[in-house]
Structure 1
């Protein structure tokens, strides 16, 4: 006989049952904790059904109520008592300590339903109509318009304009002749001496490069958000 794993032996045939039975049964006690059970339900129930006690998810059925359990390891141990009766006085009842345990099964009430019923009650994703999509796009467009920075008007240099205006005013005063000299002065010279009070046209304000890049990023982010929302609704 060869050993496959520690504690296991490979055999060709099994022997008598008496070789595998020790004669002593191991008894283990586990406390049951019905957290959400109604207090009046337990005393009125004379029979119960416990399934899968040695599995990770045992089930308990009391009349028409089903409970799902989970194993809980206690920090210490608790004492399990049983009811005792006095033979001499049957009406006198008392409790007797039976054993100790450090394992508890905590049950919670559940409802058992068919898979078809669960699929029918599962909420389905809502699909947006064309009108709702158009309204959502309009809201996104308004948000983008509000987030785009506005163009600022270019300000004139106050000091330069004042000096230029003063020079022009002085030139005009020097160029205008008196009444006595006006008769002998040449009209062409007077025209040439008079400066033209015209200003160069101001260039139109242009949006800065940072503002354009920021607006472009806002549009791309909004488009990505719209695509993600449509994919989520389709799923």
Structure 2
């Protein structure tokens, strides 16, 4: 099996622009008592999760940083509603993508390096190919044009890691209290093949969730079906 990093195809000529946020989010952590870091992941999205039944719902509506105890309280309220395999970190976002959009769009859309949207027809074609784990979720995007596309957000679960061989040898362990790792993603990535899933053809890395990864099955299906808007960068594994 070969793997690819999924990104925007900057040569496609599409002018589409998407600006928005998800309906709810966990707060970031302010001054962890163990490492003194203030941080938020900002790249874990679960658009299928509906928090409307959760108590203290208003506490999920404003992005901010909170003491770790408040983050942990809210995390435990959201945890039972998460899909199997979900990972929770400070700043994780839930519910539909809400905002505005305009311009022309390809079959697949990468508004940011860690967010992937698809036109409904394109997603249905991919699902018909038997690809594993493709879940499209409705967005709430307002368009400034007629004949607006029906864009769905693909929910990417965090699975798989980079091989230790491409990471700094003297890296510090994660914070024992907030789990912050403080690592910068290396330019030359090497996947840890033993950590990669066999039940998903599209996912994001667990240790660097800003990185969206697909199998050669997904990349080949896009090429064969003529689905555009994305570029595939080969990722070696070991």
Q: TM-score w.r.t. structure 2 length? A: 0.18
Greater strand proportion: 2
Q: Which has the higher contact order (CA 8 A, sep 6+)?
A: 2
Higher helix share: 1
Q: Tell me which structure has the larger Cα radius of gyration.
A: 1
